[in-house]
Structures are given as structure tokens and as C-alpha cells.
Chains A and B, each alone.
Chain A
Amino acid sequence: MQNLTNRSKVVSDKKMTFLEKIYLPAILRGMSITLSHFFRKKSTISYPEQTREFSKVYRGQHVLKRDELGRERCTACGLCAVACPAEAITMISAERKPGEEHLYREEKYAAVYEINMLRCIFCGDCEDACPKEAIFLTDRIVSSQYKRQPFVYGKDILVEPLDPEKRIDISARQTDAVRKFKENKKYAHNK
């Protein structure tokens, strides 16, 4: 039979030599191995003081973007909810009233926008589906909770802060190439 690898070893039942029989050399060799590990660099990362370096396009907790004037971009069209394979997104739309133009960019907006982080699989399809560049996944981690209810993230957590200093940077995910790809009607999901 042909060998799959060259790593196979021939097993033999030869008699053990005296040194092998008294085990001590083998034990000492084993102890030298464990001792060498004793001084080796530890591979542990002390989370939360240290964090592992994330990829720039990591898909973590979502953000609902505002535009340059601080208005919410989301128009509650529901495409993200339709695209979501885990059915994690729900929303209730509302009509913008006169005097709210500084809050919402278009006439319709999401009064309630909830993502169930327990259902979410962080695939990024909502981001792909969004025609208004409103929802993005970020490199933030969804923190753990003791109960289920806090995992349903509402607008209070998802919408980015108004303060221009505290806006969430999504430039790594929203590159020109991505934008062009999303606008190309050749791909099925944009038809």
C-alpha cells in the first residue's frame, strides 16, 4: 500500500534495553521538556486589559450611522430585516413630523430598531442590503450578559453618538470598492 505521508513509523516489539527499562532517562527527558516550557513565553492574552488585535474588517456589534449633519440615515425600509438569515432584526417605522428634519434624513424613519444579538450570526448581510449606508458592522465586541433580554439591542445602543468626536469609524468596511460592488446591478442581491 502506498503511504499517504512520509511520517509513518515502523512499530517494533524489540526488547527494551537496560536504560529503557529503568525509565529514568525517559523521565528526565520528559522533565526537561516541561521545564523548558516553564520559561517559555505565555500565549495567554490577559483580556480585558489586553485585547487581541482585530482585523480591520472584523464583523462585530452593529452601528446605525448618522450623516454629516447628525441625522439618522436609516429610513426603516426593512431590507436588512429581509436579508437577515437569522431573523434577528425587527423595526417599527414612523413618519417624520415637521420640525424633526434635523433628526431624521428622510420622511420615514425607524421609531424602534432592534437587533437580537443572540440570534445574530454577524454575517454582514444587513450591511450589504442597506441602500442608505445606514447599518454597518464594527470591530466592537458584543459583551456578555446574565439574562437574555439585555441582548436585544435597541436604538439607544445601536445609533452612533451625535458628538462628531465620538462617531464610529467604519471607513475600513465602507471602501470605494465595496460601494461600487453594492451599486452594481449585475449581482443578484441588488436586482
Chain B
Amino acid sequence: MDWTLYIYKTIFLFIILLVTLLVAMYSTYGERKVAAFMQDRRGPNRAGPFGLLQPLADGVKMFMKEEIIPLSANRILFILGPSIAMTTALLTGVVIPWGGTLTIGGREFSMQIADLNIGILYVFAMVSIGVYGIMIGGWASNNKYALYGSIRAASQMISYELAMGLSIVALVITTGSLSLHEIVQQQHGMHWNIFYQPLGFLLFLTCAFAETNRAPFDLPECETELVGGYHTEYSSMKLGFYLFAEYINMFISSAVIATLYLGGYNMPFIHQLGLSPNAVTLLGTAFFFMKILFMIFLFMWIRWTLPRFRYDQLMNLGWKGLIPLAIFNILATGVFYYLNELF
């Protein structure tokens, strides 16, 4: 048995968990700041310097609130809903390669918890299970608004997962691998997949917005029509879990986008700096996180720019816009590589 590996993996798992929670926590703060700045306001600035303790204050507030489970609700499923949403949101981080390899005591450790050879499919599986959290929660509430919200969430997820999967197929054609580790390794230097698959990137990005229920695709939880959608009946930390899961999802999808299309932890010209391998790895990880943070900013930027889609527009865009485009993308990529091999 290789105990050092187990210990390393356990510690690394905890670090990733903590970082995920921390980033998600400060995304709530970031979102409010970005929203405020884009509306010529200042945002939270009272709790601590620059309002940095605001997420803590919000967390305490969430825990202190009265917990209400409606009498007509199905108790077990009502509790299961947010648990699934939170768990699946956290599970996806396992396959993402957060960095290269670290050399500790003459041994090499990969900065990835599990290098599955079907990493992309694992991400898809987790995202698909995530929708159950919303569906179950909305159904168990026994409330028409919550049910509407979850129905919208389910149909939206199904429609956009198709286009997302199809846009990934084209990516798989170019990379020839389903392992996230290998996909990142192929994007060394500036060979980022976004330059080989610009249309695929755009499709994937749009679908990622829809999958994370972010504006302009936040129909399942729109306040004006559905009084909050699937979390209408939720209160206290169960509501907090739903909201928090959304931010974790945003972080993870940013990480997935950065991994698949923006070169992951690859940094151009990093090997010409003459640094030690460990420093290169850590610098790569820092660069990876900069990419992720930029993607999170993009998520927020779009949210505070675009108005929400109408339901039929959402379906039109998904089925008549994105899916044909994705299929065209697959065909074009396939033809290109076929001709490439012929000549």
C-alpha cells in the first residue's frame, strides 16, 4: 500500500474543498460588488475593510434564520433537494487538473485528485445529477411556483445539455481524448483549444450559463414571475445551500471552461523563465486561478448586462440555434480532420 499517496490525496482533497468553498463564498461578495460597480454604486463596504467580512455575516444570518418546512411538503425530499444540489456541485472539482506535478521528497504528486480517463463524461454526469436537486426540491415544496421553477429547470437543463455535449464532441475530435489531464497537456504554450474551436467555445459558454442557471438563463429562479422559483418555500441554510451551490457551480464551470478551452494551468513562456519545476507548477496553478476568476467575472458581467430570456426564446435558442450550430461544428471539425489526414 502506498500510504504517502493516500495522505497526499486526502490533504489535497481538503485543500480543494476549502478553496472551492472559499471562492464560492467570495463570489457572493464579488457578485454584489460587480453589480454595484456596474450600477454606479459601491456595494457592501461596512463589514470589515472593503466589506470583506460580508460573506461571513451573510452566512451567520442564514444560520440564524428560522427554519420552516411547510406542512404540506414532503419532509424527506424537501431536505434531500438542497443536499443533492450542494453535494453534486462539490463533487465535480475532483476531476479538474488544478496544476501540473509537484515534487515532494523526490516523489512526483499530481495536482489532480482523480485522473479519470473519461473525465469529461464524469463532469457531465455530475451536472445532470445536479438538476435532480432542483427538481426534487421544487416538487417536494408542494407549491405551484416551486414546481414551475423546477419544471423550467429540468427542461432547460435537458435542452442545453444536448448542445453542450455536442459542442464537446467537436472538442474531443480535436484532442482525441476524454481525459481532462491529457486535454490540458495538449494545450501547452498558446495552443489553447479556444483558437481551434472558437464556435465550440461559444456554444459551450452559452450552455454553461444555462446549466448553472445564471442570467440571462435564470428562468427557474426568477423573482418576478415565480417568486423565487424552486426555492420559494426554502428558508434558513437550506436556501443558503441552494444559493451557495449556484456559486460553487459557477466556480466549477469556470474551471471546466478554463480547462477545456483556455489551456488549463498552461502559461505561455513559463518554461523560459528558468524556474524550478515546483515553482513552475505553482505559477501555473496561479495562472489557472486567474483564468477561473476572469471567467467568474464574465459570468457576473453578463448577468448584470443582459435581461432574462422569455421561456419560448430560451427553447428556440436551445433547439433551433445551438443544437444545429453544434452539429455543424462537429461536421466541420470532422471534415477538416479527415481532409487533414488525406493530404
Interface on A for B, CB 8 Å cutoff?
A: 27, 30-31, 33-35, 37-38, 40-44, 46
C-alpha spacing A128/B232, complex, angstroms: 55
In the complex the two chains form, is A31's CB within 8 Å of B301's CB?
Answer: yes
A-chain residues with CB within 8 Å of residue B41 when the two chains form the complex: 42-44
In the complex the two chains form, is A37's CB within 8 Å of B306's CB?
Answer: no
In the complex the two chains form, is B305's CB within 8 Å of A27's CB?
Answer: yes
In the complex the two chains form, is A42's CB within 8 Å of B38's CB?
Answer: no
B-chain residues with CB within 8 Å of residue A31 when the two chains form the complex: 301-302, 305
Partner of B37, one of A30, A33, A38, A46: A38
In the complex the two chains form, is A42's CB within 8 Å of B42's CB?
Answer: yes
Given A27-B306, A30-B306, the answer on whether A37 and B40 have CB atoms closer than 8 Å is yes
Count residues on chain B whose CB falls below 8 Å from chain A CBs: 13
C-alpha spacing A14/B34, complex, angstroms: 37
B-chain residues with CB within 8 Å of residue A42 when the two chains form the complex: 37, 40-42
A-chain residues with CB within 8 Å of residue B304 when the two chains form the complex: 34
Closest CB in chain B relative to A28 CB, distance in Å: 10
Q: Which residues of chain B from 277 to 294 have any CB-CB distance to chain A below 8 Å in the complex?
A: none
Closest CB in chain A relative to B37 CB, distance in Å: 5
B276 interface residue (CB < 8 Å to A): no
B-chain residues with CB within 8 Å of residue A43 when the two chains form the complex: 40-41
B-chain residues with CB within 8 Å of residue A46 when the two chains form the complex: 42, 45
In the complex the two chains form, is A34's CB within 8 Å of B301's CB?
Answer: yes
Partner of A35, one of B39, B42, B301: B301
Closest CB in chain A relative to B35 CB, distance in Å: 10
Closest to B39 in A: A37
Given A27-B306, A30-B306, the answer on whether A44 and B37 have CB atoms closer than 8 Å is no
B-chain residues with CB within 8 Å of residue A44 when the two chains form the complex: 40-42
Closest CB in chain B relative to A30 CB, distance in Å: 5
C-alpha spacing A34/B42, complex, angstroms: 15
Closest CB in chain A relative to B10 CB, distance in Å: 41
Q: Which residues of chain B from 303 to 327 have any CB-CB distance to chain A below 8 Å in the complex?
A: 304-306
8 tightest CB-CB pairs across the interface, nearest first? Answer: A34-B305, A34-B38, A30-B305, A38-B37, A44-B42, A31-B305, A37-B38, A42-B42
Closest to A24 in B: B202
C-alpha spacing A34/B45, complex, angstroms: 21
Bitwise, B21-53 to A at CB < 8 A (1) or not (0) is: 000000000000010011111100100000000
C-alpha spacing A30/B216, complex, angstroms: 13
Closest CB in chain B relative to A29 CB, distance in Å: 10
C-alpha spacing A44/B45, complex, angstroms: 12
C-alpha spacing A38/B42, complex, angstroms: 10
Q: Which residues of chain B from 30 to 78 have any CB-CB distance to chain A below 8 Å in the complex?
A: 34, 37-42, 45
B-chain residues with CB within 8 Å of residue A34 when the two chains form the complex: 38, 301, 304-305
